[in-house]
Amino acid sequence: MHVLVHGGAGAPPDAPAPRQDTLETAADTGASHATPVDAVTAAVRVLERDPAFNAGTGATPQSDGVIRTDAGMMTSDRAAGAAASMPGVEAAVAVARAVMADTPHVLLSGVHAVDFAADTGIPVESDLWTADTRARWDDLDSHPDGSPTDHRDWVRERFGRTDPGGRESPPGDHDTVGAVASDGDRFATATSTGGRWLALAGRVGDVPQIGAGFYAAPAGAASATGAGEAIAKTTLSRRAVRHLEAGLGAQAAADRAIEEFSELTGASAGVIVVDRDGGCGTAHNAAAMQTARH
């Protein structure tokens, strides 16, 4: 089983070594499973449990102070499932898998996705706040109150802005996690996130959107991370797999997709790719993106 995982593209993490250890564990854990779907699910679950990543535990609050999680999954036979805007759900990737396996749909959202998760035995009502997230939230100069337009105005001044230290974004802002896997014949991809720092309540980014945060086809699979709105507008994961379909290997496809993304948007992102020959590719134009491979 070939497994490649990422821990997000964005600002350099404050403590990269422990994060890298977790990524290595995630890749190894995924590779111990028999199918690509099992592999990516298990790998992403390792990362969702680690508060150093912006997925599951360690996710980020939206403008109303609520933490909501998103995830998406797809296989090379184009089965797909996703779940979005779920408060209190750590195992977002498990919900995405349940949507794929147990419903005729590709996406559930909000409280209905949470209710579905609970009814299928996935834990809900988890406390996703960490001490670091709470401190960052409490240290803000203000918190929005009032109508959605009041929240909108507050978000406009803060979303995606450079932090006081001059970094592109605070650590954790782009730390979406993801995995791609292949057993030589089949592919799967899964991506999970806790959203982007200081987003409007109810915001859903690229992660649960097929072709944006994740995509798989008979030629291979990809998982993306970074500036979600820009990724969604350029369908970054689909773009990478399209290059596989055109005959490029995994590394060349990843490089080409990020080059095109940079030219089109000027935003930062990263992508991981696996191809039918077992090749793995990683590319990013952000300051950092940690990955691990088994």
What are the tens digits of pLDDT across the range 51-85? 999 999 989 999 899 999 999 999 999 999 999 99
The residue type at 65: G
Cite the active site residues.
176
Say if residue 168's pLDDT is above 50. no
| Percent of the chain clearing pLDDT 90 (strictly above) | 79
Question: pLDDT of 193-229, one tens digit each?
Answer: 999 888 998 999 999 999 999 999 999 999 999 999 9
- Do 70 and 81 contact (CB within 8 A), yes or no? no
Model pLDDT, residue 167: 39
Model pLDDT, residue 157: 75
Radius of gyration of the chain (CA): 17
Question: How far apart are alpha carbons 79 and 22 in whole angstroms?
Answer: 28
Question: pLDDT of 44-56, one tens digit each?
Answer: 999 999 999 999 9
If you average pLDDT over residues 1-26, what whole number do you get?
Answer: 93
183: how many CB neighbours lie within 10 A of its CB? Answer: 16
- Do 258 and 237 contact (CB within 8 A), yes or no? no
Question: How far apart are alpha carbons 82 and 100 in whole angstroms?
Answer: 7
Say if residue 126's pLDDT is above 60. yes
Say if residue 172's pLDDT is above 90. no
Model pLDDT, residue 163: 43
Question: How far apart are alpha carbons 12 and 167 in whole angstroms?
Answer: 9
Model pLDDT, residue 169: 45
Closest C-alpha to 47, from 18, 86, 67: 18
pTM of this structure: 0.93
pLDDT band for position 161 (50/70/90)? low
Question: How far apart are alpha carbons 230 and 205 in whole angstroms?
Answer: 9
Question: How far apart are alpha carbons 30 and 161 in whole angstroms?
Answer: 35
Question: How far apart are alpha carbons 97 and 113 in whole angstroms?
Answer: 12
Would you give the distance in Å from CA 27 to the centre of its chain?
16
Torsions phi, psi for 222 (to 5 deg): -145, 150
Model pLDDT, residue 10: 86
Characterize the bridge pairing of strands 80-87 and 107-109. Answer: parallel
Q: Pull the structure tokens for residue 283.
A: 């590319």
SS (H, E, C) 214-253: EEEECCEEEEEEECHHHHHHHCHHHHHHHHHHCCCCHHHH
Question: Poorest-confidence range of 114-123, 175-184, 194-203, 219-228?
Answer: 194-203
Say if residue 152's pLDDT is above 90. no
